[in-house]
Structure 1
Amino acid sequence: MPWTTHGDGRTVAPDAIVRPTERLSWPKTIGFGAQHVIAMFGATFLVPILTTFPPSTTLLFSGVGTLLFLLITRNRVPSYLGSSFAFLGPVGAAMAGPGIGSALFGIVATGFLLALVGLLVNAVGTGWIHVLMPPAVMGAIVALIGFNLAQAAWSNVVGGNRAEVSYDSVLLATVTVVAVCLIAAVFRGMVGRIAVLLGFVVGYVVALAMGLVDFSKVERAAWFGLPQFHAPSIDWAVLPMFLPVVFVLVAENVGHVRSVAHLVEDDSINELTGRTLFADGAATVLAGLGGGSATTTYGENIGVMTATRVFSTAAYWVAGIIAILLSMSPKFGQILYTIPWGVIGGVTLALYGIIGLIGVRMWIDNKVDFGQQKNLYPVAVALIVAMGMGTDVLVFGDVALGGIALGTAAALVLFHGMSALEKVRGPGRDEAAA
């Protein structure tokens, strides 16, 4: 579906939204696409670094998966598919045991199951999802996805290792996040909308001036080269570790779609939930078949859209193409590796927090009443579980669950459990009077 040009393509009114089916001029669209690449970069590369997957292969399949997602959703749902943190536990366990082939098999199986869920939703609708995840629960899930990454953001700020604080990294993070905030506050229009990109540039320039950027690996790297591919090997024993991740992926995906629909005030986007789930699953299967990390719709990029109010899917085509091109050039890949952790940390401090606040905004706009115990306790427990665990995992036999999975489970089980008990109990005198 071709995009219509928003206004004159060059300017956007301060309170206007560039919708998914619109675009600005191509130079500006390329700029927004580059900002999305920067937003996804830290987390997308952090996952293969933690799991020892090949980073260039992960970058390739994140770009390919993004383009596939846009095709399947007919350019109506803006999203970047980056590396999923939900797979850290099972992939880490598989890599420590049988190896990358088994890990990739688990990724393929999980992606296939997610695609089946998407087909089911496409056939029967999303009504059961809305019942399963009312505004109190959905807001909690969206919020905890962002707040769960707080420890990851802080690890970036202090230099990648929370046990050894680098004060140069802290300084760079401070400079970057202050630059983002100042640019957003001082400038209106287009400059203010790309505050994240410009703040990143400021942080990187400061890092260059401080002599904290090492180009030695860039000089030795080749200009062109294919990523390293791996094939999955069938290992049914790993499936108990991987398949529970589907629950998290559904929550992330549905939360993403609802967030975008809410932000652009277009409920018709929610009708594409089946397509988005299928597309996410298909992209994960494709990544697993080639040796890349599993993909998921990225909250970091929702943060960028929330800050810029530019929801054009054209920018995501640019981001996906840039990711593919970068994956084909070891030299450009090494340039991305020169970005200091502190600069990434400054950006993720803002973006991860924005993700969390999107969930809070959903509560406010839907007038969720936290005076009701069934709303209060499930949300409170879910948020603390997610924030407290961070990227840690708990292993129950062969099943490894992280903070997003456990926080989501807490919100769902406690909310529906308390709702059922309230129905059995019946209304109290205060409730009856109300």
Structure 2
Amino acid sequence: MRLVVLGGGESGVGTAILGKKKGYEVFVSDFGKIKENYKEVLGINGIVWEESQHTEDLILNADVVMKSPGIPDKAPIVKKLIEKGISVISEIEFAFPFTDAKTIGITGSNGKTTTTMLTYHLLKSAGLNVGLGGNIGKSFAWQVAENKFDVYVLELSSFQLDGIINYRPDIAIITNISPDHLDRYEYKYEKYIDAKFRITMNQTEEDYLIYDVDDEASSNWLEQNKTKAQLIPFSLVKTLEKGATINDNKMEIKINQEEFIMDTEHIALEGKHNLKNAMAASSAARLMQIRKATIRESLSNFQGVEHRLEKVLKIQNVQYINDSKATNVNATFFALDSMNVPTVWIVGGVDKGNDYNELMALVREKVKAIICLGVDNRKIIDAFGNVVDMMVEVNNMKDAVKTAQRLTEKGDAVLLSPACASFDLFENYEDRGRQFKQAVQNL
């Protein structure tokens, strides 16, 4: 059997290693450059690779192709593979048959990294033999090849779900759905929503789907489509017979005739959206039979995720907050919503078709000045030019932070929450967040 891997990054190299171990003839092809450390790993494992090109003769003879999530379906080589009827799948789909571990699959437009990390933290604190993978950390396939975990917590993007055929999580979580990555879905929101719900397509009556019942897109989809999985809803506002709710500042979870209650003030993560993430993760932990005391303790000591509403430093009584991971409007909405002091907001980058109108009320209420940090800031200036008193354009992080410091007074906050992708001025959102933290430390 010939396995061709398109993309020589973390998921590609992990898949190649697992494929080789399972007796496939493996070839890795990357249209860009492969990092040196990955080349070394491929070499040690005797795996043939190429970079800066796709040699068709070596690709179109595959029995199965694993495509990295970053490669769109409209890439010429992918089109040719599909025309030839060759199966093109994601890493998750390839690795799934080679493990009998339980998997908890987590997707959503926002909150999925926090929910994934929190779920992993809950299970690990309970002493379970658990791996973390998918869109985050070490490749799932690589771990299946080298480790023996009993459970995997997997963060799954819509691109990874596009490439599944048989993958079936024991527990699926959909945190929420809002327009994102529409450029990959012909600008049709329905297609993107359907992609997210692929997570539940193979689930049976023995499996569970945890979802936000307050989320319009999720609720509508479930009204119009069927899943066999047992539904576990969570809500900030509704009273539910089953699932998770917030009642009088208490989180209440009712699953399998058992109730779990915890004061929300003891939950380390701040903000309404994090209550949702906590409800989703705790519901999964309860389904995995984690003890209530362990869940309480883990929720109260969880540190959160880097670049997601991360408190960096307080300087002259001004709090600097790194929310670089907010790459869409919905994520920035949650960030602004959680601010309770006058805020200088650093925003901008590569716009993915953003509609800034939904931020208008929050900006009026909370933002005293806006710093635009992007190559093209026209849309942001058009949207908020008349809403705030002060608007400044900069083209590097150092200037953004220095300007922010000049515009603040005691008791204010500076929030980096770009609502955009980072590729115009930075390598990725991590690079953007680290540069922000560095600039703050240099003040």
- Structure 1 and Structure 2 fold alike (TM over 0.5): no
Structure 1-normalised TM-score? 0.23
Answer 1 or 2: which has greater helix percent. Answer: 1
- Compare relative contact order (CA 8 Å, sep 6+) and give the higher one, 1 or 2: 1
Structure 2-normalised TM-score? 0.22
Rg (Cα) greater in structure: 2
